[in-house]
A and B are shown apart, each in its own frame.
Chain A
Amino acid sequence: MMPRVAAFLIPLTLLFTGCTNLGVEPWERNILAKPEMQLIADPIEAGLDDHIYFSKEASSGGRSFAGGGCGCN
């Protein structure tokens, strides 16, 4: 599996260097600073959803740790 990891990290680096023109000035963050614009706007809901889908599907993780923590049925 490791070669696949490397293959994905390369475009990530390219993207990062390509991103230096993107972004906003500190005083242009009023919209981005809203609670509802946070990537995980509702952490409780995200946690509950992660738990539901962890119990019902074979995949987990992605936005946060794949974890475990239950013997879910």
Chain B
Amino acid sequence: MQLKDKSKKIRRSLTAATCSLLGISTTDTPAEEGDWEFDSAVLYYSEVDRVSAIEPVITAKREFSDEKSLNLKLVFDALTGASANGATPSDQPQTFTKPSGEGSYTASANETPLDDTFKDFRMAFSSQWDQPLNRDYKASLGGNFSTEYDYLSLSVNGSLSRDFNKRNTTLSVGISLAHDTISPDGDLPVGFSSMVIDTGQAGFEDDFDATREGSEDTKTTLDLIFGLTQVIDQHTVMQLSYSISDSSGYLTDPFKILSVVGSDGRPVDYRYEKRPDSRNKQGLYWQTKHHFSKDILDISYRFFWDDWDITSHTLDLRYRWMLGGQQYLEPHFRYYSQSEADFYRRFLVDGDVLPDYASADYRLGELTGITLGLKYGFKLANEQELSMRLEYYLQSGDSPDGNAPGILSDMELFPDVEAIILQFNYAF
């Protein structure tokens, strides 16, 4: 009986092994050890009437024996355009001093004030080394360097994972430490200080300097991620992770201001924003991928919360629809919604006591984002792959509860942000 049971098991296992063997494609291109594999992309991001960015990326991967690998990544990011400075629109044209203190920019009547002085160039380089430590453990070490005209970020990270249960279950823990330095042109504004407008007055430069404190500041961020990856069956894999991120230091945006409005809704002053100097973010992330007979469903959900009282939900759906002939179409849908930070104020009211912190940055307000996208890809011979995607992103802020004073009750305080994302990919 025992022999029979064992033999039966051989047949079953053999059938499965044969199916696996025959279910494969037969590309005949063994890459030699030491070959670099490259992947490249260009992203074009353009918001209607606002920021646009072009972002080329190239990654190189080299595999060594014993499953060791090195990944390098270089990203360039050229940004131009205008960004909402936080002030409210008004029925009169408004003039603002540029963040550098040299010159001013104007917002027309009834228009959302945009700071159009943004021109930035970012370069980021990162490297990551992965290797198994033994049969069950894998380790990864990496470093990132990112620099802009007025911003420098350095980070190191490490992670360790362990396989269990015939490598069907993987537990991982990762840690990252980042140190960022911001040194804007025109120095850092004093939180809540009033913006000085150059109307030709004699003491403008001294007055402007009085709103400045120091030429640079820093922030440090410590991230931890705990992950669980589980193979469910031959077609399904699932991941769960919990992440916690602790930032401290200068978390304010030196380019953002708040309007201080009178009872008629018109601005009487503009104050530089001020945020707390620490932030703790946490997230729970769940992702599942399922392979149907040909197509692949990729679904993920993230719940995020922080001690600024922001909570958010992110749902992401992708369906890779295989067209045959090594081509696919991949529709993408993403839904995002967040609640506002506890210190978020669309504006300050003249005469009210100043809060401890305040920001009118629309990204800290209550908002909803929808992304709709379509990606098309195909594989060429020699394991090369081309793909492109076009996405539309719509971000809608939520209007206040109708208690905006005076003229503001008729103004668009939360204009939509619409963006087009176009990306080309080439792996070779």
Contact = CB atoms under 8 A, between A and B. Distances in A.
B423 A67 contact: no
Interface in B196-229: 219, 221, 223, 225-226, 228-229
Given A19-B230, A28-B234, A47-B57, A56 B223 contact: no
Contacts of A41: 298
Main DSSP-derived SS at the A contact region? loop
A68 B180 CA distance: 8
Interface in B49-68: 51, 55, 57, 59
B423 A65 contact: no
Contact of B225 (A60, A65, A73): A65
Contact of B242 (A9, A19, A28, A32): A9
A59 B228 contact: no
Interface stretch (B15-23, B28-36, B348-356): B15-23
Contact of B291 (A37, A47, A60): A37
Main DSSP-derived SS at the B contact region? strand
Contact of B166 (A23, A61, A73): A23
Interface in B175-203: 176, 178, 180, 182
A1 to B, nearest CB: 6
B20 to A, nearest CB: 4
B176 A63 contact: no
A31 B221 contact: no
A63 B300 contact: yes
B229 A39 contact: yes
B241 interface: yes
A57 B150 CA distance: 21
Contacts of A30: 20, 23-24
Interface string A28-60: 111110101101011111011001110011111
B55 A44 contact: no
Q: 7 tightest A-B contacts by CB?
A: A23-B168, A62-B285, A71-B151, A66-B245, A69-B153, A59-B304, A62-B302
Interface of A: 1, 4-5, 8-9, 12, 15-16, 19-20, 22-32, 34, 36-37, 39, 41-45, 47-48, 51-53, 56-71, 73
Given A52-B421, A58-B312, A63-B241, 16 more contacts: A16-B171, A19-B230, A23-B233, A24-B166, A30-B23, A36-B296, A37-B291, A45-B425, A48-B57, A53-B369, A57-B363, A63-B239, A66-B223, A66-B283, A70-B77, A70-B124
